[in-house]
Chains A and B, each alone.
Chain A
Amino acid sequence: MTTRQKLVVIGNGMAGARLVEDVLALDCDRFEVVMFGDEPYGNYNRILLSNVLNGTQDPKEIFLNPLAWYEENNVTLHAGKKVTRIDREQRVVYADGVEQPYDVLVLATGSKPFVPPVPGTTLHGVFVFRTLDDCRNIADYAKGKSNAVVIGGGLLGLEAAKGLMTHDLASVTVVEMAPWLMSVQLDEAGGKVLGQTIEKLGLKALTKTSTAEIQGHTHVTGVKFADGSTVPADIVVISAGIRPNIDLAKECGLACERAIVVDDQMRTSDGHVFGVGECVQHRGMVYGLVAPLWEQTKVLAEVLTGTAPEKVYTGSKIATKLKVMGVELASMGRIGDLKDTDEVVQYSEPARQVYWKAIVRDGKLSAACLLGDLGPADNLMELFKNDAPVPERRLEIFFTAGSAKKDVSLADLPDSHQICDCNGVSKGTICTAIKAGKCTVPSVGKATRAGTGCGSCKGLVKGLIEAVAGAVKADPSEGWYVPAVPMDKPTLVAEVRKRGLKSVSEVFRELGTGVDEKSKMGLASLLKSLWNDEYVDERDARYVNDRVHANIQKDGTFSVIPRMYGGVTSADDLIKIGVVAKKYDVPMVKVTGGQRIDLLGVKKDDLPKMWADLGMPSGYAYTKALRTVKTCVGSEFCRYGTNDSTALGIALEKRYQGFEFPAKVKLGVSGCPRNCAEATVKDVGVIATEGGEWEVSVGGAAGASVRKTDVLCRVKTQAEALTVIGRFLIYYRDNAKWLERTYDFVPRVGLDTIKRVILENATGLWEYFDREVEATIAAYRDPWLERERPVYAGQFEDAKTVALPMLS
């Protein structure tokens, strides 16, 4: 038996791992594959790092090949090992204690961030944005900081800025040397449009600005520019471009210019050594996008495995579709590269922030950028990639051809047409998957990788599913009430009622497909509302807050919030709260946003004692339940108050306390239209009017989203207000999805429907609503009373100390 040739790949990034995949796909027996990667992980999709930074994706979702993949494919991966030397003579690679001989060596060393030579780049709080660890470090460091500066207004810089904006910073400033943002992809006018759009998002952009110094002693405090001006900064992210990693190649004497020089078969100046990706220079070009790099690995895999030994790579046409800061962008060719004889075709629509520009050279599309609306982008891409002649009437580049054709064109496209530019997936491949039964966008992605890169082609994938299979099957799990039970809410409720399932574990056993903690919480809430007193309350289905009736804090301590109906308290209660806070050495006493007093930093053991000393009921600050009813002073003391808002607030809170919902619910009552209780941004808001009526409105929020309430009705008395609100709350409780706040629920169901149900009794449910309110009130138990008799062993115990035996 012949021994297999040794293929050694240095670099486990998008190029290295993709090459190995391509090689294995063509011939899995030819090589013994050994890979080296600097990072201690499997291989991940670097394009999606910005999603990790902005929290829309979990790090684990961006892994292309987890460590297990290497094992399954018999690929030896030296993760976290840095190659220090290549001996081309002996054909051996050296890395931290590893000596690895090779027959074929591939360099896929990628590139590293360019750090401009200014003082201060080594201060704490200065980061580059390149790896998963960078992402994590930036996110950790950004916590609690207020001012961020991103140096570099290119694509990555903007992605970093977008990511930072999700971390609650007061300001994020992007600094760019060029006169406009994304100067590689956009021309001046396009850059301006982009600039305006992102400023609307609250981001500051300083163009034509070069950084002179990053200031600070040990930690960064500010950034100084060439003109002498400064901005304060607690965190700086440098994203000023990348440089190919060529040190290793240079040291072993391979020909390098800007990057490692390779021929049309990706061969370096040494016939046994090849290169792919950002570290190579081919026909004078160095590419920093994934699509070209995947064309390269494909050719190299065919050459190495002997599948197509004559195959050549002739270069790539760079075209990309992106979404930067929510702005749709398509770019092809080099827009700044203009000759006197070029024709420029431009269209702009400033009000919609739309800007299109195409450069026609010798009757063909040589470059284009589209911003804000990508209607004609596919058409332009097609012209660009195929070097096809552009229409005689140049305006048809953007119109007729593009927009009118769009829907039809998908079906008419040839099978070879590439849909996913990140993964190079053709229409044919996708259609084959759809015909094999993959009728959701995620399942097509799983089968073909289409849509799993930047995700901008998901719409096209959806279109293809519609064209081939008739309709997209929505990802069924989207409609499920909880992830582990494959049923929507009405089906689930019907099954639970029919089978008489009264505990969470019964539901899992009879209807579940598995268990997860989110499903436990969702089901617990649902069952409680369905069965009231009959609900079998399993404590392991509750999150810790609902087990110990206090809110867990970052250090494992808890907080106690005495209920303060309508925000009203008394001198005696205040004194009591003060005495208790002092007795238990509470580290922080704070007034919350919901008009209550929060005692923070309480040890679990102290909770029952404190509650007993306080002798006040619980103020929910944790459960998916009615939280607070915020009020203003109202007619009691206020000069303007037209009605008694505090009395209504207290009545509402007393009546609906302990009601659990699919998400938290906050109420507000204002005593006059000046609306000091900010009732129009609550789940239910009530405002007293000059005529002595109450205006009830629903579906507002002022948290992660801000939404103004929709007016439901006006009522004349406090009692009517209580009734209408109760009906709405039960209707919401019964019909909302798990974790769906009223501000999503109300627009989803529609105000008209809600009015018909709540005001006109169109569904005949009034009696049921009122009965449910009474039943829920009757089933309410003050959870704080568990202090007297814990429900399970150790419920209010921090940690039980166990003595060591004398002898072991």
Chain B
Amino acid sequence: MQTLALKSPGRNARAARVRLCDLDELPVGLGRAFVVAGRTVAVFRTRDGNVFATANACPHKAGPLADGMLVGHQVVCPMHAFRFTADSGECDQPNVCAVTTYLVEVEGTAVFLTLPAA
């Protein structure tokens, strides 16, 4: 199991690392939403064995990305099918800003999420 590298982790020293769940609590090929420290984060497990995480709200109209479908390493928003790339959070549509991405790591059977300091 790998995690998709974030382009610019830039992790803050006071960032919080949280154990999210067991790997098998993440359905293959789908996303799942978690609330961590007041933020809703969507965590995805791709069919090729990667895990990545984004903010759960689509920057376009706040669609719940965890309910979206995965296309390779991209998540497709269930509302209007905007696509966001796992590592950069970049959107395939012009004028839609990137979605926030988070560092997520799998160690053994445990999934960890790192939240930057608020």
Contact = CB atoms under 8 A, between A and B. Distances in A.
B74 to A, nearest CB: 9
Interface string A620-654: 00000000000000000000000000000000000
A253 B39 CA distance: 55
Interface in A530-563: 538-541, 543-544, 547, 552, 554, 556
A802 B69 contact: no
A544 B78 contact: yes
B64 A800 contact: no
Contact of B19 (A132, A516, A805): A805
B14 A132 contact: no
Contacts of A792: 27, 30
Nearest to B16: A808
A12 B31 CA distance: 40
Contacts of B56: 799
A540 B71 contact: no
Interface residues of A, number: 39
A59 B93 contact: yes
A805 B18 CA distance: 7
A804 B36 CA distance: 7
A700 to B, nearest CB: 29
Given A517-B69, A539-B27, A804-B37, A554 B95 contact: no
A505 interface: yes
A520 B69 contact: yes
Contacts of B71: 515-517, 520
B21 A802 contact: yes
Given A517-B81, A552-B78, A799-B35, A136 B27 contact: no
Interface string B30-69: 1011111100100000010000000010000111101111
A480 B113 CA distance: 41
A544 B67 contact: yes
B27 A540 contact: yes
Nearest to B92: A60
Contacts, number: 107
B97 to A, nearest CB: 11
A538 B29 contact: yes
A274 B32 CA distance: 57
B16 A805 contact: yes
A794 interface: yes
B66 A808 contact: no
B19 A808 contact: no
Given A517-B81, A808-B15, A799 B66 contact: yes
Interface in A729-744: none
B27 A63 contact: no
Contacts of B67: 544, 547, 552, 556
A789 to B, nearest CB: 14
B68 A544 contact: yes
Contacts of A132: 94-95
A136 B80 CA distance: 14
Contact of A802 (B18, B24, B47, B61): B18
B3 to A, nearest CB: 17
Contacts of B33: 794, 797-800
A556 B34 contact: no
Contacts of A225: none
A793 B70 CA distance: 17
A58 B81 CA distance: 12
Contacts of B14: 808
B76 interface: yes
A802 B35 contact: yes
Interface string A780-808: 00000000000011110111111011001
A802 B20 contact: yes
A799 B26 CA distance: 12
A587 interface: no
B69 A793 contact: no
Given A505-B47, A543-B69, A793-B32, A799 B40 contact: yes
B1 interface: no
B9 to A, nearest CB: 16
A544 B65 CA distance: 10
A40 B51 CA distance: 33
A795 B31 CA distance: 10
A794 B27 contact: yes
Contact of B94 (A41, A516, A539): A41
A199 interface: no
Contacts of B28: 540
Contacts of A795: 27
Nearest to A548: B67
A350 B79 CA distance: 46
Given A132-B94, A805-B18, A539 B79 contact: no
Given A539-B27, A540-B27, A540-B30, A801 B35 contact: yes
Contact of A793 (B24, B63, B79): B24
A547 B67 CA distance: 9
A802 B15 CA distance: 16
B94 A540 contact: no
A112 B14 CA distance: 50
A382 interface: no
Nearest to B46: A540
Nearest to B64: A556
A168 interface: no
Contact of A539 (B29, B63, B93): B29
Given A59-B93, A800-B32, A805-B19, 13 more contacts: A41-B94, A514-B72, A515-B72, A516-B71, A520-B71, A539-B29, A540-B69, A554-B79, A556-B62, A793-B32, A800-B33, A802-B36, A804-B16
20 contacts: A58-B93, A59-B94, A517-B71, A539-B27, A539-B30, A540-B28, A544-B68, A544-B78, A552-B67, A552-B78, A552-B79, A554-B61, A556-B63, A556-B67, A792-B27, A799-B33, A800-B21, A800-B32, A800-B35, A802-B34
Interface of A: 40-42, 58-60, 63, 132-133, 136, 505, 514-517, 520, 538-541, 543-544, 547, 552, 554, 556, 792-795, 797-802, 804-805, 808
8 smallest CB-CB distances across A and B, nearest first, come from A540-B29, A799-B33, A792-B27, A544-B67, A517-B69, A556-B64, A808-B16, A801-B35
Interface of B: 14-21, 24-30, 32-37, 40, 47, 56, 61-64, 66-72, 76, 78-79, 81, 92-95, 113
